[in-house]
Chain A
């Protein structure tokens, strides 16, 4: 059974701190991996997508890495701000043309002013 585990489930940090969110997956035959942000009661916003042939992607203060051999991805947030407070979800898509995304349960991040 394909699974995605996100640790920690919740994280609280002071403003300005650099932080890392972790995502591990059980199937190395992934096609790509995405990181999403979800604000309370809202839909998901795609942050970064990493293809299986890539090692990392960057967008502003966000950097996501992918290590297929170890089944891990990390989302690095630099100089965190209160506006970064949200739940962060990772999801992977398998090779073979599957349309299915397998989601983790998310990490709830709180950045305190």
Chain B
């Protein structure tokens, strides 16, 4: 089956710890994204990557880091510098058209992170 997988589904972290959220896609998509969703708010973009070994900050990148060593994988690390990390994290991917623009974004099932 083609799609986007995120793991784990639920993650608990103690204050001061770094944690890494996994995102994998087998859709052969070029671009991948990380969003954060808080109750009653729209999704906010953390980081995105259009090609391997390249990524850009979104609106709320502080306290987060990413890597894009493989086309299929775009892990997100939530560092201890992120002051309020409890949220629902969504990964997405999209195909990059020949014109350089990306198509519809397809989302994974999400990871709910709770800081204890």
Contacts and interface: CB of A to CB of B under 8 A. Distances in A.
Given A43-B90, A44-B90, A101 B107 contact: no
A103 B35 CA distance: 11
A106 B48 CA distance: 22
Interface residues of A, number: 22
A43 B105 contact: no
B42 interface: yes
A43 B104 contact: no
Interface residues of B, number: 30
22 contacts: A4-B42, A36-B107, A41-B88, A43-B107, A43-B109, A44-B107, A91-B42, A97-B101, A99-B33, A99-B50, A99-B56, A100-B58, A100-B59, A101-B43, A101-B45, A101-B105, A103-B42, A103-B44, A104-B42, A105-B40, A105-B42, A106-B42
A52 B92 CA distance: 22
Contacts of B88: 41
A36 B92 CA distance: 13
Nearest to A3: B42
Contacts of B92: 44
B42 A43 contact: no
B105 A45 contact: no
A97 B97 CA distance: 11
Contact of A31 (B43, B44, B90, B101): B101
Contacts, number: 56
Nearest to B6: A43
A34 interface: yes
Interface in A62-113: 89, 91, 97, 99-106
B42 A99 contact: no
A46 B106 contact: yes
Interface in A1-51: 4, 31, 34, 36, 41-46, 49
Contacts of B106: 46
A97 B42 contact: no
A45 B107 contact: yes
Interface string B54-84: 0010110000000000000000000000000
Contacts of B43: 44, 89, 91, 101, 103
